[in-house]
Amino acid sequence: MKINRTTVLAFFLTVMTSPCWAWMAGFASEPLVTSEDLTDKRKVFLAGYGVLGNREASGIHDDVFARSLYLSDGKNTVLIVSLDAVGYSQTLANRLRTALASELQLPEENILLSATHTHSSIDLQGIWGSIDEKQADAITNRVVKSGKAAAANSKPARLMLGLSNQGKGYNRRLKSSDIIPQVLSLNITGTDGKPIALLFSFGSHPVALDKDNLAVTSDWVNFSRNQIEKELGTKALFINGSLGDVLPSLDGKPNDVRTFEFAEEYGDLIARTVIQANKESRVLNSHLAYCREPLPLEVDNLKVIALTKGLNNGTIDWTSLTDTTLTTTASVLVLDKLVIMSVPGEPVTQLSQTLMAKVPDYDRAIFSLTHDSLGYLIPEDDVGRKDGYEETFNLNPRFGTELSNAIDRLLKQCLGSQLQTQITR
């Protein structure tokens, strides 16, 4: 049979210009902590347990990273940056976004900074030992290098979304296995078939190791990423989900074992769920919408106010010694029919269930510790439990309500007026 070259060319152009192939994507990573950092006269303090813990790092078990993913549909662009850290101060976050925006010629608002929340990495939040100016410069340079390379590496791509409800964990607030079990897999490949990166998300504290560990590590996240990269041959980037009251557990029950062996076992479990979700994935057509909203908040948690003002290092950007107000950010990112709600703290399960129920006709996900790292996010009607650990770092009983209302507005803005009737409270 004779093949018509004009027909073949027309078919090729149709495929390559169809919506699902119109994405641009790029990935890059840089280490956040190096062996040279540990031999420097300046100490590297690990963050995450107690207050003012001053756990000095004794070595590196596995590299911790700044991992960047550049995404564009040709009209709208975002840069997602995942830091292997418990969180980051508002001052450092602003510094990173400003530097990235300048290098990439991208609005600061379009940079989604997030933290994996490992409790065994350098203290970027400023509560457990903090970093000095030289360390902040080094961190900024590494993060910018990662973001800049991700943008430079971008090429035509295809996005495949996979979802599974097989994630495991223990809910310390509800003392049950009631968590958000959803594991998200967003596999990104070039139009040439070569892998670019896989973004995965699940809500659980990276605390398979306890305060006695003094080695730099991304905790169970390290083992998940390694297994995904080994099995699928692509680089993996992790964004934490509804983690506020969720601890690692293989069976939904409390776990007293805190070892690297347990971290590996739990990390492998999450990786297997991601890999299974990827097998059942579907193509996302090229449509990116991104909406964000400044969120002012009056802080009335006196312990948090006293701690952060006493540290005086930018953990929260207070404008004066007497000021108790701050401004944070909430956002919604839409990738085709996937709706991602990005929140500036650690939402507990009940609040995440409320947020996800707002758009029942869409695939949806929660990205936590994005934009800011401002403690726990709790439904207003559940604040005040006598045994509620999360209340310790809840900035205001209405924080959850204010955030939920902002997400309502952002969903309506980002999904379009014709879809407003599908948004439920």
Cα distance between the two ends of the chain: 59
Find the range with the poorest average confidence among 88-92, 207-211, 314-318, 334-338.
Answer: 314-318
State how beta strands 236-240 and 195-202 pair.
Answer: parallel
Q: What is the model's pLDDT at position 401?
A: 98
Query: What is the amino acid identity at position 320?
Result: S
Which pLDDT does position 3 carry in this prediction? Answer: 39
Please name which of 281, 242, 284, 274 lies closest in space to residue 71, comparing C-alpha atoms: 284
Q: Bridge partners of 238?
A: 200
Q: Where are the beta strands (DSSP E) in 32-164?
A: 45-46, 55-56, 59-60, 65-72, 77-83, 111-115, 155-164
| Secondary structure of residue 37 in the 3-state scheme | helix
Contact 89, 313 (CB under 8 A): yes
pLDDT tens profile 252-299: 999 999 999 999 999 999 999 999 999 999 999 999 999 999 999 999
Mean pLDDT value of segment 185-214: 97
Out of 11-20, 94-103, 313-322, 363-372, pick the least confident: 11-20
Q: Residue 41 is encoded by which pair of tokens?
A: 């006269």
CA distance 241 to 14: 37
Residue 248 burial by Cβ neighbours in a 10 Å radius (0-12, 13-18, 19+): buried
Q: Summarize the confidence of residues 371-384 as an average pLDDT.
A: 96
- Per DSSP, the residues of 312-349 read -SSSS--SSSS--EEEEEEEEEEETTEEEEE-SSEE-H
Strand runs labelled E in 135-240: 155-164, 170-171, 183-190, 195-202, 215-216, 236-240
Res 421 pLDDT > 70: no
The pLDDT of residue 424 is 42
Burial (CB count <10 Å: 0-12, 13-18, 19+), residue 39: exposed
Report yes or no: 98 and 110 within 8 Å, Cβ to Cβ: no
Mean pLDDT, the chain, whole residue set: 92
pLDDT > 90 fraction of the chain, expressed in percent and rounded: 87
Q: What's the average model confidence in pLDDT over 157-177?
A: 97
> Considering the entire predicted model, what is its pTM?
0.93
Mention every residue, 6+ apart, whose C-beta is less than 8 A from residue 10.
none
